[in-house]
């Protein structure tokens, strides 16, 4: 699937998962508290993480996000992981990425800021903010916007980071499993899961059905989440 589709699916997944992630009766000790700023930050980060498995694609959205740096990164990852849609398109990668980012957030401030900058930049790129071409100007605009958002997030907290990254990666894998090529979800086991609901990447089904539905989903869930926050604030104020 295309980068925009993946990013939108990440945003939808995060907004849909907020009630679950914040429910102590379901997740018990693993539940987290999310305020409005954290929900917004998680939406962008999850959208970026929903592109992350394509770090093995030398010509994909990630490769064109921050110029030569991300192109080299994608080429190196493609060599290490076995090429596009191999090791990075798996449950193991998603869980590892989530744990890795959460470890950085909890233990290494500079590492966390770098990871956050990259994830926010990917999220903006995937959602089409700052342009869609791969030229230097687009990369600079994306970097400036990402840096501004990261600065705005400096005191948001990061208990949600691992969830957002793992969920974004898993949604990406699920999306690519809907194409004929499928994904090695249990990598390093080579078996691939593929259910060809979307016959061709960037084809009519993706352009005219999947992307519009995901866009509508983001809008509906964002409104639902915002109204839920307002109702909660009102109840807390008048309790």
- Which has more pLDDT, 125 or 165? 165
DSSP state letters, 175-220: HHTTSTT-B-TTTTS---B---SS-STTSHHIIIIIHHHHHHHHHH
pLDDT, residue 229, reads 60
Binned at pLDDT 50, 70 and 90, residue 235 comes out as very low
Residue-range domain boundaries for the chain: 3-234
Q: How far apart are the first and last CA of the chain?
A: 47
Give, as one character, the DSSP assignment of residue 29: G
Nearest to 143 by CA among 52, 75, 67: 67
Using one digit for the tens of pLDDT, what is the confidence trace for 129-150? Answer: 755 555 667 777 888 888 998 8
pLDDT, residue 172, reads 95
pTM here is 0.88
Using one digit for the tens of pLDDT, what is the confidence trace for 93-129? Answer: 999 999 999 999 999 999 999 999 999 988 888 887 7
Contact indicator for 156, 60 with CB cutoff of 8 Å: no
Q: How far apart are CA 192 and CA 199, in angstroms?
A: 16
Instruction: Give the chain's mean pLDDT.
Output: 86
Binned at pLDDT 50, 70 and 90, residue 207 comes out as confident
166, pLDDT greater than 50? yes
Using one digit for the tens of pLDDT, what is the confidence trace for 57-78? Answer: 888 778 877 777 888 888 898 8
Contact indicator for 21, 30 with CB cutoff of 8 Å: no
80, pLDDT greater than 80? yes
**235 CB contacts (<8 Å, ≥6 apart)?**
none
């Amino acid at each position: 699937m295309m980068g925009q589709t993946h990013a939108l699916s990440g945003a939808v997944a995060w907004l849909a998962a907020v009630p679950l992630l914040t429910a102590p009766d379901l997740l018990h000790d693993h539940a987290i508290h999310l305020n409005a700023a954290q929900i917004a930050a998680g939406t962008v980060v999850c959208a970026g993480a929903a592109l992350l498995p394509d770090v093995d694609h030398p010509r994909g959205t990630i490769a064109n996000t921050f110029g030569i740096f991300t192109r080299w990164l994608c080429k190196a990852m493609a060599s290490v992981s076995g090429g596009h849609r191999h090791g990075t398109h798996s449950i193991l990668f998603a869980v590892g990425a989530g744990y890795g980012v959460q470890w950085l957030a909890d233990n290494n401030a500079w590492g966390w800021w770098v990871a956050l900058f990259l994830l926010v930049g990917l999220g903006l790129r995937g959602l089409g903010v700052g342009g869609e071409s791969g030229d230097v100007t687009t990369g600079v605009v994306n970097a400036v916007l990402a840096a501004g958002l990261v600065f705005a997030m400096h005191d948001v907290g990061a208990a949600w980071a691992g969830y957002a990254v793992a969920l974004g990666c898993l949604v990406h894998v699920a999306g690519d499993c809907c194409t004929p090529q499928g994904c090695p979800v249990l990598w390093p086991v080579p078996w691939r899961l593929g259910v060809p609901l979307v016959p061709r990447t960037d084809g009519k089904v993706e352009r005219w059905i999947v992307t519009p539905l995901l866009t509508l989903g983001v809008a509906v869930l964002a409104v639902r989440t915002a109204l839920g926050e307002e109702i909660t604030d009102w109840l807390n104020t008048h309790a």
